[in-house]
Structure 1
């Protein structure tokens, strides 16, 4: 998350804060209300990560004076109340000193995952785009079509949150999807030969592979692949 914030390019003081965050997150939504909602979701993800940093630093028994004020400044910068404001009102919180303190937190807290290769993320994006296109002339029952669309949204949201929260966002999305597929196993099994279902399976396998590789914690090792194998056996 710190890396993402530090990569915010220079912007004029009078540009709207909403537009700065939208550009950083790659949100190209023309509808301003939808754009605001999408930005707010990702700012909330950042806020949750800051809360996690606070909790981990407290458990590590580090003095709050070393990091608390910096975390608070970032929280102020992430306020959705500032989305209509000009960027200079937000930039005042994003000082080099703040980033140094947060980088220090990142250095001392346990590193539980490795970075997913950009090529893998690009491949997942491409698979999702292909699946989305295939739904345009799909013959799936409406309920199943809606489920596939929801899973596309789950993966897109997880990919958007990945630079903020890491591979655990992919794992959480896969866990949600697995539960939904098991609930709808009869209609999925009936249509398992449909190209859209095959594509959906390919996407989730790739997502699980990426998450399993990135997450270092032993208890999470290969969790996604084992879960998907279980689902395939059910079908």
Structure 2
């Protein structure tokens, strides 16, 4: 969770929910939706911290080596702190706490490669092209609904990528693949449309970046092949 290392870039007097929104790239103009999204991402940080702790336990590391640091991190990412001033959050993320987290992450390295800035920007560009199809009155309603949901899946995955890595994109693709399969008969008439082509292009771009980052995961490759096969079915 390298996002925690950027805690000191935020102004101390602002509300924690706004600081997290800045750090996690939550851009929604509606304050209620923005707060909900931040809370979801904070929850994702909790899940990731639990996974790290479980990995350390499985590797037979003594809890004494990390439990104090993890307790401070849990305090920092507590949903109860979202309405507090950022300085109250930041005081838990001291250099020794972040060093301990980095050390633990190195121990549990999963050989995942980083997705490049250019690749992430390519994915975002594809999403923006999809947004235009949602606004296009010529796009059939059912297809617009599907595309809107897939935009939300990708947006959420891009935010969670900062926390959990490329598996966030992998999980989004799995969810999209399942939905496409479920409604494939409804979508068949739209396969030749420009909107559907852009949807396929967006997932192809995301899939390529994800497969490279998770090169060690055989299942990822199978999911990619499954997506290609599903596109052929439609």
TM over 0.5: yes
Correspondences of 1:151-230 after superposition (within 5 Å): 151-230=150-229
Q: Does the 8 Å CA contact 2:76/2:90 hold for their aligned counterparts?
A: yes
How far did residue 164 of structure 1 move? 0.6
Q: Which moved more, 1:215-224 or 1:116-125?
A: 215-224
Moved more, 162-171 or 22-31: 22-31
Aligned to 1:7: 6
How far apart, in 2, do the equivalents of 1:137 and 1:218 lie?
38
Structure 1 runs of 4+ off > 3 angstroms? 9-13
CA contact (8 A) 1:112 1:217 kept: yes
Contact 1:209 1:224 in 2 (8 A): no
Give the equivalent residue in structure 1 for 2:97. Answer: 98
**Structure 2 unaligned residues grouped into runs of 5+:** none
Superposition deviation, residue 218 in structure 1: 4.0
Equivalences, count? 234
Q: What corresponds to 2:31 in structure 1?
A: 32
**Structure 1: 5+ residue runs without aligned partners?**
none
SS at match of 1:222: helix
Structure 1 residue 30: deviation in Å?
2.8
SS in structure 1 of the partner of residue 13 of structure 2 = coil
Measured after TM superposition, the shift of residue 215 of structure 1 is 0.5
Alignment match, 1:44: 43
Which deviates more from structure 2 when the two are superposed, residues 22-31 or residues 161-170?
22-31
Give 1:140 deviation, angstroms: 3.3
Q: Counterpart of 2:116? A: 117
Partners of 1:88 and 1:232 lie apart in 2 by 49
Aligned equivalents of 1:80 and 1:66: distance in 2? 25
Distance apart, 1:12 and its partner CA = 4.2
How many Å apart are 1:201 and its aligned residue? 0.3
Whether 1:55 and 2:62 are equivalent positions in the alignment is: no
Question: Measured at CA, do residues 192 and 103 of structure 1 come closer, stay the same or move farther in structure 2, by a change above 3 Å?
Answer: same
- CA distance in 2 between counterparts of 1:34 and 1:232 reads 33
Coordinate RMSD, CA, aligned:
1.4
